[in-house]
Chain A
Amino acid sequence: MSPPAPPHEPLIRLAHIDKIYGGAVPYHALHSIDLTIMPGEMVALMGASGSGKSTLMNLIGCLDRPTSGDYWLNGRHLTDHSDNQLADVRNCDIGFVFQSFNLLPRYSAQKNVELPLLYADVGPRERAERATAALARVGLADKLANRPNEMSGGQKQRVAIARAVVNRPALLLADEPTGALDTKTGVEIMRLFQALNHEGMTVVVVTHEPDIALFCRRMLRMQDGRMVEDRPITDGHPS
């Protein structure tokens, strides 16, 4: 578990981040993004498709690297980390939730949740304990042995959230987490994020649905690879 950052220290600090995709016609996906997110925030990252929000999310999640610019996570400068160091960051400091759940279909819920612990060299007994606890936290204590194809979309997303938080990361990144769910289930999932945020976890939700963004306390809007709006949400759904 990563030590909690001092309140004055930002969890995420991006400075002049550019991302250019190579190819015959280079594509400028991100233009000089500057962004600071403090620990304990709950942020909605909005924008139309192609606005660069997924690209930014991949960079924050250490799945991808910026073409230029600097990135500090929890005070550490990640820009010159090796691939394996970034894998460690993804393993310990960041939890991912995807629109399409991205669970391993032939693994039980418990095995899916254990996956990050497997790569953190946690022993089998502790893996089982922590996975069970994480699944209980998301309300799936009775679904440990179920496989993804035996669960509803909402349940699958809960398993994915349990997997994201099982290693107690400082940052939870969710890419369109409600995109494949009905409205009611989507609200439940957002309530779960709020509860996790309430427990101290920093949450960044990528979404294009304004209703979903209202569950957050800060809203960022992107357009054509630039950050065009950054404001607090005052009229949202309080947690």
Chain B
Amino acid sequence: MRSETYFSIAFEALALNKVRSALTMLGIIIGVFSVIVMIGLGQGSQAYITDQVKGLGAGVLIVTPGNPKTQSGFGPPIGQAQSLRIPDALALETIPGVTFVSPQNFAQTIVEVGKNAIGGQIVGTSPNVQGVRGIKVTDGRFFSDQEWRTGARVIVLGARLSRELFKNTLTQPLGAKVKIGEQRFRVIGLLAGSSGAALGSTDDQGYIPTRAMQSIIDTGDRLVSIMIKVDNEALLPVVEDQAKRILRTRHGIRPDEDDDFKVQTQADVLQTVSMVTNAFTVLLAGIAAISLLVGGIGIMNIMLVSVTERTREIGIRKAVGAKTGAILRQFLIESATLSLAGGTIGILLGLGATWAITRFAALPFVLSPAALFGAFVFSAAVGVFFGAYPAAKAARLDPVEALRYE
């Protein structure tokens, strides 16, 4: 018997119990839907973070404090006694081939204007962060090299931070003073609103010179990272070596001791990012896959009921010459049709939901065809796997007893 005949038999049988078929499919729909959404969001976030890191440009080295060998696990880095400081950054600037060095420090703190107190992320950095992060100033200006060197009390506010701070006040943000801790900072610039991205948005940030960080937090002179921009990508290994040597000398590390800092290239960071997001995606998709399994059990349940209900039909088919394999295929194709239809609907709904969420969260929409194909094949496999037992039961029925069944 031809396969299209099996499919038309399957459709007829499923159409006969529309509500039951729809409910059975629902399990698969939900399973495939959640797998697609989880993978879609995982891949979207990964693409977003990757874009961010790539935005740094290829010729970038990132120096972070802490021993790379002891820092792999959880918890605070060990051996951070000699963390990175501003003089380290200044020393790195002397390496030939370095375009600029951008020392960074972050603090999550409260910014106040009058009665308004808003939480924000204060970034201590240098003016060249503009080039690195693609920051655009719409009003006023960014702080100058001079202001950076002296650690002037000036601040450049992100769009939402300035909007919230000066809400219900008559004060013009530009030129006004904001209070961070006991220090007052003069607002010299306002940033353009970025696209409301979930991660790395500048909207809630305030940028101040690195040295000024010391005035608001105790660890203000310790840097979270130093970014080194190199003229020419080919120089990266040389600059990396130089940077390590300089930092080891400055930190007084003996030759037999490990580094107390880590130098990574953009590629290293990308690798770390994709490792983390991949693990996350796999975990979520795995949880979603469990719901697909539950859907498969639903199919098995319904197919068992269906086989029992149609015992007589199976007997008739066998009496007129249906072989064991023909009955087996008929029921397998029926369950596969259920799960494939459910899988297709789940994929379409999942695509729609992923598209909507990524649009809302300003993430890139990069659901891979491999994931869609995988979901399709997996749902078909679920149908065949969970349909196998009921189909085998149907195929094994004794024709005499099946014909006698009431």
| A residues at B contact (CB < 8 Å) | 58, 61, 63-64, 83-84, 87-88, 90-92, 96, 98, 102-104, 106, 115-116, 118-121, 163, 167
Contact = CB atoms under 8 A, between A and B. Distances in A.
Given A87-B322, A102-B312, 16 more contacts: A61-B319, A63-B319, A64-B399, A83-B324, A84-B325, A87-B323, A91-B321, A92-B321, A96-B320, A102-B315, A104-B313, A104-B316, A115-B317, A116-B320, A119-B317, A119-B326
A116 B326 CA distance: 12
Interface in B300-346: 312-313, 315-326
Contacts of B90: none
B1 interface: yes
A91 B320 contact: yes
B403 interface: yes
B370 interface: no
A87 B316 contact: no
Nearest to B321: A91
A90 B320 contact: yes
Given A63-B399, A102-B403, A106-B16, A119 B321 contact: yes
B5 interface: yes
B403 A63 contact: yes
Interface of B: 1-2, 5, 12, 16, 312-313, 315-326, 399-400, 403
A164 to B, nearest CB: 8
Contact of B321 (A58, A64, A98, A120): A120
A183 B54 CA distance: 90
Contacts of B317: 115, 119
B326 to A, nearest CB: 6
Given A84-B325, A106-B12, A119 B320 contact: yes
A116 B321 contact: yes
Nearest to B310: A104
Contacts of A116: 320-321
Contacts of A119: 1, 317, 320-323, 326
13 contacts: A58-B400, A63-B318, A84-B323, A84-B324, A87-B322, A87-B323, A90-B318, A90-B319, A90-B321, A119-B1, A119-B320, A119-B321, A119-B326
Nearest to A166: B320
B319 A102 contact: yes
A106 B400 CA distance: 22
Which of B5, B12, B320, B326: most chain A CB closer than 10 A? B320
A93 to B, nearest CB: 10
7 shortest interchain CB distances as A-B pairs: A91-B321, A116-B320, A119-B321, A87-B323, A84-B323, A63-B399, A90-B321
A104 B324 CA distance: 19
A64 to B, nearest CB: 5
Nearest to B313: A104
Nearest to B6: A118
A234 B324 CA distance: 44
Nearest to B396: A83
Nearest to A124: B5
B321 A87 contact: yes
A87 B317 CA distance: 10
Contacts of A83: 323-324
Nearest to B15: A106
Nearest to A121: B1
Contacts of A96: 319-320
Contacts of B403: 63, 98, 102
Given A106-B12, A118-B5, A119-B1, A64 B400 contact: yes
A163 to B, nearest CB: 7
A121 B319 CA distance: 16
A63 B321 contact: no
Contacts of B400: 58, 63-64
Contacts of B318: 63, 87, 90
B321 A163 contact: no
A163 B319 CA distance: 11
A106 B8 CA distance: 13
Nearest to A105: B313
B7 to A, nearest CB: 13
A204 B405 CA distance: 24
Contacts of A118: 1, 5
A102 B12 CA distance: 19
A102 B325 CA distance: 22
A120 B323 CA distance: 10
A163 B16 contact: no
